[in-house]
Amino acid sequence: MDWGMSNRMSRMIKSDGKTVMLACDHGYFMGPTRKLEVPRRTIEPLVPYADTIAVTRGVLRTSIDPKWDVPILLRVSGGVSILKEDLSDEEITASVKDAVRLNVSAVALSIFVGTAHEKQTLVNLSKLVDEGEEYGMPVMAITAVGKELEKRDARYLSLASRIAAEIGAHIVKTYYCENFHKVAEGTPVPVVVAGGPKMNTDEDVLNLVYNAMQEGAIGVDMGRNIWQSDYPVAMIKAIRAIVHENATVKEALDVLRENKSVAQLSAASKN
Ligand code: R5P
C-alpha cells in the first residue's frame, strides 16, 4: 500500500488495529433523521470519542469545524431518497478530487448486490477504487440492503462483502448477523459493522458490538444506536471499551451506567 493510502488508513484504524467510526451520513437519503436534525449539535459532543466521523460533503462543509482533529469518512454515493421503494439506484455523488480537497481519510459508497442496480453500483465501486488508487484515497464499500433488512444473513452478506473486496474496496462495512465469522473470514480486507435501526435495549447494542468483535470485525461504523440513545456519550464510551479495551458486555454496561450518572448529575447541576 502506498504511503498516502497507508497514512489515511492508519488515521482511521488505530494502532491496535481497531476503530470506532461514528456514522452520521443518513441524511443523504433519509433527510433530517431523528436526533440528527441539526448535525453539528449531535456530532460535536461525540467527536472526542470517535476514531472517524462519516458524513457527506454538505454536512462536512457546514457542520464540522475544520479545527476538530478527527478523520473524516466521506459518503460519495447517493441519488435516491427514502420516498422511493427501490433505494439501489445510486451513482457517485462526489469526486475523489473533492475528497482530496476536503482532506478526508477515505470515501464510502454503497453497493446493492442482487438488486436491479447491482451492476451499476459495482461499476461505481470499481471506478471509485481506480480513482482512489490514483490519489491514495481508501475506499469503503457498504453492503447496503435498502429497505430489505431481512437480507442481513451470512450467506448474502458474505457474497456482497467478498465481491466488494474482490473489486478492490480497502475496507468493507456490512451488518452483523448470525454466523458473522463466515462473513469476516471470507472478506480479505478489514470489516466494520453498522448498527442498523435503533435496538430495544442498550444491552442488545453492546452484545452486537461484542459478538462482531469476537467474530472478526475490526470495529463499528455505527450511528442511530449511538446518537438516538438518551445518553450518546455514555453509549459511545461503552462501545469503545469493547472495541479498544476488550471489555465484556457486563463491563461495558458498567461503563455505560457510570457515564449515564455523570451526565445526569451534570444535567441536574445546570437546572
Ligand atoms: C446509511 O445511511 C449509512 O450507510 C449508515 O452510515 C449506516 O447504516 C450506519 O449507521 P447505522 O448504525 O445507523 O445503521
Packing angle between helix 249-270 and helix 202-214, nearest 10 degrees? 140
The pLDDT of residue 227: 98
The model's pLDDT over 100-134, given as tens digits with 9 standing for 90+, comes to 999 999 999 999 999 999 999 999 999 999 999 99
According to the model, what pLDDT value does residue 210 have? 98
Closest approach atom of ligand 1 to CA 54: 6
54 lines ligand 1 (CB under 6 A): yes
Residues 162-176 as b or e (16 or more Cβ within 10 Å = b): bbbbebbbbbbbbbb
Any atom of ligand 1 within 6 Å of the Cβ of 223: yes
Q: Specify whether the CB–CB gap between 112 and 124 falls below 8 A.
A: no
Query: Other CB atoms closer than 10 Å to residue 147's CB: what's the count?
Result: 11
From residue 142, alpha-carbon distances to 16, 76, 112, 216 in Å are 23, 11, 9, 17
Q: Which of 205, 196, 166, 193 is nearest to 19 (CA)?
A: 193
Q: Is 195 in the pocket of ligand 1 (CB under 6 A)?
A: yes
Average per-residue pLDDT in the chain?
Answer: 96
Note the pLDDT of residue 127: 98
Which pairs count as long-range contacts for 259-268, CB under 8 Å and 24+ apart, including other chains? Answer: 259/231, 259/233, 259/234, 260/231, 260/234, 262/234, 263/231, 263/233, 263/234
pLDDT for residue 149 is more than 80: no
Is beta strand 91-92 parallel, antiparallel or unpaired with respect to 77-78?
A: antiparallel
The angle that helices 249-270 and 232-245 make with each other, rounded to 10 degrees, is 150
pLDDT in tens, 74-84: 999 999 999 99
Contact 194, 175 (CB under 8 A): yes
- Check if the beta carbon of residue 151 is closer than 8 Å to that of residue 145: yes
Query: In angstroms, how far is CA 138 from the centroid of its own chain?
Result: 14
Q: How would you class 2 by CB atoms within 10 Å of its CB: exposed for 0-12, middle for 13-18, buried for 19 or more?
A: exposed
For residue 194 and ligand 1, the question of a CB distance below 6 A is answered with: yes
The number of the ligand 1 atom at minimal distance from the alpha carbon of 221 is 9
pLDDT above 80 for 140: yes
Q: Is the CB of 90 under 6 A from ligand 1?
A: no
Q: Residue 271: what pLDDT?
A: 75
Comparing C-alpha atoms, which of 54, 83, 87, 88 is closest to residue 71? 54
Classified as helix, coil or strand, 121 is helix
Instruction: Write the residue with the smallest CA distance to atom 1 of ligand 1.
Output: 26
Q: Which three cell numbers stand for residue 226?
A: 449511538
Query: What distance in angstroms lies between residue 195's CA and the mean position of ligand 1's atoms?
Result: 7
pLDDT for the residue 81: 97
Q: What is the pLDDT of residue 167?
A: 98
Q: Is the CB of 78 under 6 A from ligand 1?
A: no
In short, whether 75's Cβ falls inside 6 Å of ligand 1 is no
201-227 pLDDT tens trace: 999 999 999 999 999 999 999 999 999
The secondary structure of residue 151, as a DSSP letter, is G
User: What percentage of the chain has pLDDT greater than the value 90?
Assistant: 93
Atom number of ligand 1 nearest to Cα 28: 2
Q: Give the catalytic positions in this structure.
A: 173
List, for residues 17-45, the tens digit of each pLDDT value.
999 999 999 999 999 999 999 999 999 99
pLDDT of residue 266: 86
Compute, in angstroms, the gap from residue 22 CA to the centroid of ligand 1. 9
Rounded CA separation 175/12 (Å): 19
Tell me the best of 73, 82, 142, 145 to mutate to test the pocket of ligand 1, counting ligand atoms within 8 Å of each CB and taking the most. Answer: 142
Residue in the structure block whose three cell numbers are 435498502:
146
According to DSSP, residue 17 is labeled S
- Closest atom of ligand 1 to 195 CA is 12
Strand partners, 221: 21
Q: What is the pLDDT of residue 258?
A: 96
Show the CA angle centred on residue 63, arms to residues 58 and 66, nearest 5°.
100
Ligand 1 centre from 223 Cα, in Å? 6
Q: Which pLDDT score is estimated for 123?
A: 98
